Structure formats: C-alpha cells, structure tokens
Structure 1
Amino acid sequence: MPSNLISSEIAEPYAQALMSLAQTHDLTETFGRDFRDLGQLLDDSPELQDFIANPVISDNDKKEILGRIMGDSNHYLMNFLMLLIDKRRIVFLRPIVEQYLALLRDLNNVVLAEVTSTRELNDEQRRNIEDRVKGMTGAQGVEIKTTIDPDIIGGVIIKVGSQVIDASLRGQLRRIGISLKV
C-alpha cells in the first residue's frame, strides 16, 4: 500500500481535476454519490482493494471489473477510472475518492464527523450529533461516518477535523482515574 504522503501528493491533483470536470458539467453530487458507494465497497472488500492494486492483474480485467461495479455511472466518471488504470494510478483510487469527497464537503460547507459508538446510531442520535457539530463548526451540513466499537462501553466519541469530543463511558472512567491519581 502506498504511503500516505505519496498517496496524497498523487491523489490531490487527480481529485481536483475530477472536481473541475464535475463542476463544469454540474455533476459534483452525482460523482459524490458514486464515490461514496465505491468508497464503502472498498472499505467492505479488502479483496477488491487487493485486486485493484495487484500489478499482475491485467488492465483489461481491472477495467471489466470496475465497469461491472460502477454499472451505469456517468461516462465522465467511468472514463476517469479507466484513465487511472491506463496511467497505473488505480492503486491510488481510495485516496483519490477520499480527496474528492473532501473537496465536495468544502464546496458545500459540510464537515465530516467521525463518530464511534457501541452500537448503530438511531435517527434522533444522528440529529443531535449533527446539531452539536453544526453549532461547533458553523457548517451548513454534517456528514456522519460511524464506527462501532464495543470497547468504549457506552456513549460516543466524535472527531471533527482535529477536535475530539470524548463522551464515552471509557473516556469518563479514564478521566476519573486520572483525577484520583492527583
């Protein structure tokens, strides 16, 4: 897997070029939806990541599989993905997807809130987190990415950029332990 620094240096110009193309053709949200789905698929399938990154697998096989996965996606996006394969940059697909989605959030004044909880959030909990994050950041919208971690015992941990709000039971117990040591 490529290093993060090299990945971001390569991913950023590709993501910016795709954003420019998307803006020109009023497709920013369409590409965003397709990339969110593709990103989720990559997260859920390490086998797909390995397949895409494998230099032994032919470009034609990669094009065929990506074509099947993307189905009836916009032809500009499909051409972009095929270009990544031709230029041997498909190994950077995940960072390009992440960078594009970050550019889209900036464009729409939306922030990403990474939420860790012990179980799936219900609609009311999502709304409460969105309201709190909007209040903290002044953003127009909030995109929530959830992670389930039973080790936090209860509550949630919310990360927005470099800010972390630890409202987990594990965090509270740790803070109590630290205060008792003083």
Structure 2
Amino acid sequence: MSSNLVTSEVLEPYAQALMSVAQSNDLVDRFGEDVSFILSLLDESSELEDFLANPLVNADAKKNVLAQLTSETIHPFVLNFLRVLVDRRRILFLRGVCKQYQSLLRQLRQTVLADVTSAVELNDEQKEAVRQKVVAMTGAQQVELDTRIDPELIGGVIIKVGSQVVDASLRGQLRRIGIRLNSAA
C-alpha cells in the first residue's frame, strides 16, 4: 500500500473522527495532549508498537495493555478510540493516526510545524529566533518546533517547513563554498 493511500484511506478518516469527537466535546487541546502522550509511549518503546501490530496477539490483550498504560493519563474518549482501533484491526496505524490528528490540530490552530536540525541543543533564545524566522518565511500565526541534534552539522541549523528548506549550517556553507570553488576552476 502506498504512503498516500494509507494516509487518505486509513489515517485521515480515523484522525478526522477523533477530531470530530474532540470538537463536539470541546476537548481539542486535551486530545492533542493525549495524542502526544501516546506518541511518546510509542517512541519510548518499540516493543509496544511491535506488540500492538502483532496479529497473533488477541484484541483483549492489546486493549488491556493500552488501558494499563494510558487509563490514568488520557481522556476516556481517547481510550475508547484506541479500543475501536484494536477492534477494527487498525491499531498498527496508531502512530500515523496520532500524527495525522496533530496535523489537523495544527491546521485548526493555524500553526506550522518546523523540523529543526542543529549541531547542539538550542537554548530558548535560539528557539525563539528560529520561530521568528519561520513566521517570516510562512506568515503563520504560530510555529511548533520539532528539534533534532546532528553533530555532523558542525554548527548552525537546518530548518524545514513543508517543502521549504533553509540550510544555515556550517556543513551546508562549506558545501556551497566547495561548489563555488569547483565551478570557478
């Protein structure tokens, strides 16, 4: 199944359904927090994701594990949603559905997601400077940063917003200098 087909046929309808429940109950932000919590669980434990995707594990076992891990933290509506995903054998798409919900939430809040890769951890002042740069690039009202560290950059940052890329890293600058020197020779 192609990535776009999975997105349009599976992820979007479930994320839209969750958003619909959230909006009708004025829980959009709460569900956003719950989805972030679920994604952090999946990030912390690849075994959990493997367990949920395993077709040999019965549905009740999956529901019990999800309830044990999340019932104290997430809203009961979201827990019921997870149960529906298990019952419909769509729980293996949990990460994608959660990311799609976050995307819908960003659209609703007129927020853009900026992937920021830096050589070292950015401090609050640097993050704010990146936010301002992204606002200038996109005209968005709000900016959400997804930061990663890549020591191979040597210094600086790479900012990706959709298809736009700003490479302000030392590695990128050295590469551009090398290209200019090669074309001048």
- Shorter chain as denominator, the TM-score bin is over 0.9
Aligned to 1:138: 139
Q: How does 1:83-162 map to 2 (within 5 A)?
A: 83-162=84-163
Amino acid at match of 1:159: K
Aligned to 2:26: 26
Query: How many pairs are equivalent?
Result: 181
For residues 30-82 of structure 1, give each alpha carbon's deviation from its aligned partner in whole angstroms, at most 9, with x where no partner exists: 01011112112212322121111111112111111111221332111111110
Distance 1:85 1:94 in 2: 13
Amino acid at match of 1:139: A
Bigger mean CA offset, 89-98 vs 134-143: 134-143
For residues 131-158 of structure 1, give each alpha carbon's deviation from its aligned partner in whole angstroms, at most 9, with x where no partner exists: 1111211111111111111111111111
On the 8 A contact 1:52/1:91 being kept in 2, the answer is yes
> Shift of the alpha carbon at 1:109?
0.5
Tell me the secondary structure at the aligned position of residue 145 of structure 2.
Answer: strand
Distance 1:22 1:168 in 2: 40
Amino acid at match of 2:134: V
Aligned to 1:43: 43
On the 8 A contact 2:71/2:79 being kept in 1, the answer is no
On the 8 A contact 1:32/1:104 being kept in 2, the answer is yes
Q: How does 1:43-62 map to 2 (within 5 A)?
A: 43-62=43-62
Distance 1:116 1:69 in 2: 31
Bigger mean CA offset, 128-137 vs 93-102: 128-137
Distance 1:19 1:11 in 2: 12
Tell me the secondary structure at the aligned position of residue 105 of structure 2.
Answer: helix
Amino acid at match of 1:31: F
Bigger mean CA offset, 61-70 vs 40-49: 40-49
Aligned to 1:74: 75
Unaligned runs of 5+ in 1: none
Find runs of 4+ consecutive structure 1 residues off by over 6 angstroms.
none
Distance 1:87 1:74 in 2: 20
> Shift of the alpha carbon at 1:3?
4.8
On the 8 A contact 1:118/1:156 being kept in 2, the answer is yes
Aligned to 2:4: 5
On the 8 A contact 1:7/1:95 being kept in 2, the answer is no
For residues 18-37 of structure 1, give each alpha carbon's deviation from its aligned partner in whole angstroms, at most 9, with x where no partner exists: 11110000011001011112
Amino acid at match of 2:170: L
Distance 1:41 1:154 in 2: 31
